[in-house]
Amino acid sequence: MIDRHTIAFVSGANRGLGAQFVARLLARGAGKVYAASRTGHIDIDDAHVIPVTLDITDDGSVTHAARLAADTTLLVNNAGVNRQSAFLAPHALDDARAEMDVNYFGTLRMARAFAPMLMESHGTMINVLSILARVSLPAMGSLCASKAAALRLTESMCAALAPHGVRVLAALPGAIDTDMSRDFAGPKLDAAETADAILDALADDAREIYVGTMAQQLVQGLASNRAATQAQLLFPSGDA
């Protein structure tokens, strides 16, 4: 539930899904939204929005942000990167390191820095992952690995924080219409609707939310026939 007592912190809030999280949190009446970006600049002009400078790969930056936003009750770990890199690509190692650095270690660093205040407020953490945490796409294998690692991490955070009254929600959307998916030709989710669907999931006690038809069909396929569902993505022309 979002209300005037909600003090949210959104990473990667300057564009894409993060900007829509900020807008939808305000529309739902959040009392304050810390909107974090690497530049510290946010386009939204609203008295309830506090711009914060944050690079989630930097210890000092994360510590500083957590001190500044010590009253946070809802942390949205949204910032992420996708280098769209296959493992034989020339820069595959650099790409994999960058994805792990942001998507895995960045999420871990943020969760550790904000855990004390979430425990104090019995707050909530949303980790924005991807349906690609559950399957492999060869064209972006290292991205899938980084999101899968972040999903495992999210599950352990969920268990570790539950006794302290902190809810942890893993959000696994399909393709969203943002800069990150600009080269994807298939159907894409609207970013505002994706943010809304994820925030709606706070109304029940789910630990995971799969957003959109693509994500929901994949997760159903994995449940009924994991090997066949994964094979369709690995060998789309049936040349296994």
Ligand X SMILES: NC(=O)c1ccc[n+]([C@@H]2O[C@H](COP(=O)([O-])OP(=O)(O)OC[C@H]3O[C@@H](n4cnc5c(N)ncnc54)[C@H](OP(=O)(O)O)[C@@H]3O)[C@@H](O)[C@H]2O)c1
Minimum CB–partner distance for residue 65 and ligand X (Å): 10
The count of residues interacting with ligand X (CB under 6 A) is: 29
DSSP class of 176 = B
- The alpha carbon of 6 is separated from its chain's Cα centroid by a whole number of angstroms, namely 19
Helix (H, G, I), strand (E, B) or coil at 50: strand
With CB under 6 A as the contact rule, the residue among 6, 7, 8, 11 that binds ligand X is 11
Minimum CB–partner distance for residue 95 and ligand X (Å): 13
Asked if 96 is part of the footprint of ligand X (rule: CB under 6 A), the reply reads: no
Minimum CB–partner distance for residue 147 and ligand X (Å): 7
- The alpha carbon of 50 is separated from its chain's Cα centroid by a whole number of angstroms, namely 20
Asked if 128 is part of the footprint of ligand X (rule: CB under 6 A), the reply reads: yes
* CA separation for the pair 45, 40 (Å, rounded): 13
Sheet holding 7-10, edge to edge: 49-53, 32-37, 7-10, 74-77, 124-128, 167-173, 208-211
- What's the half-sphere exposure (Cβ side, CA atoms, 13 Å) at 209? 21
Minimum CB–partner distance for residue 118 and ligand X (Å): 19
With CB under 6 A as the contact rule, the residue among 170, 181, 201, 229 that binds ligand X is 181
> Could you tell me whether strands 32-37 and 49-53 are parallel, antiparallel, or unpaired per DSSP bridges?
parallel
Binding mask 53-92 for ligand X (x = CB under 6 A): -xxxx--------------------xxxxx----------
- Contact residues toward ligand X (CB under 6 A) are 11-12, 14-18, 37-38, 54-57, 78-82, 102, 106, 128, 130, 173, 175-176, 178-181
